[in-house]
Structure 1
Amino acid sequence: MIYVAATFRIRPGTIEAFVAAAYIAIDTARREPGCLLYDLHASVTDPDRLVCLEQWDSRETFDRHLAAPHIATFSEAIKPYVLSTRVEIIHPDHVDTI
C-alpha cells in the first residue's frame, strides 16, 4: 500500500475554478481499481494551497491512474490556476517525489 500527497500552490482567487476542474477527476479516481482513498483538502492557514491525499493498494495501480485519460484532462484544465505542484509517494520504507 502507498499514500500520495499532491500539493498544489494555486493563483490567488482561483480555488473555485480549481475545485470545479478537480471534481470530475476525484469522482473518477475513486472508482478506479486499487484506489482506497482520494480526497482534496484546502489549507486552513494558506488559501492558495490545496493538498490531494490518496491511498492506493500498490504503486502499479497508482501508475495506471497517472496514465489514465481523465488525469491528462485534469492536468490540462488546471494549468491556468497552478503555480507549482509537488507529488510525494509514500511507501512503507521510503518517499519518492515526482
Structure 2
Amino acid sequence: MSDLVIIVRVQAKPGLEAALVAAQTALVALSRQQPGCIAYELHEDLNQPGKVVFYERWQDRAAWEKHLAGPHSAAFKAQAGDWIADLEMLEMRQVG
C-alpha cells in the first residue's frame, strides 16, 4: 500500500482542554475536504479531557504535505498551537 497513516497524540495545557478540542474539531471538517484525504478522525480520551488522538490516512505523502502547508493548518497553528502541552506524531504504513 502506498497510503500514509499519521497518528498524532496531543495533550492540551491545563484549562485549555475544551478550547483546543473545539479548534481541533473544526480542523477535522476542513481536513476531510482536502484532496488525497482518505480518513481524518479525532478521538478524545474518556478519562482525560484534552487528551486526543488524530487518525489520518492520506493517499500519499504529497497529499499529506500539501495538507500541512495549507491555510487551514496554518490558521490552526496560529490559533491553537500554544494550547498544546505535549504532542507525539507517528508516520506509519499499514503492513497487515
Please tell me the TM-score bracket, short chain as reference: 0.7 to 0.9
Q: TM-score, normalised by structure 2?
A: 0.84
Aligned to 1:96: none
Aligned to 1:50: 52
Deviates more, 1:11-20 or 1:27-36: 11-20
SS in 1 for 2:15: coil
Q: Percent identity?
A: 27
2:27 to 25, 28, 33: 25
Which portions of structure 1, spanning 4 or more consecutive aligned residues, are displaced by more than 3 angstroms? Answer: none
CA RMSD in angstroms, aligned pairs only: 1.6
Deviations 1:19-61 (A, max 9, x none): 2212332111101111011111111243341111111111111
What are the ranges of 5 or more consecutive residues in structure 1 without an aligned counterpart?
94-98
Aligned pair count?
93
What are the ranges of 5 or more consecutive residues in structure 2 without an aligned counterpart?
none
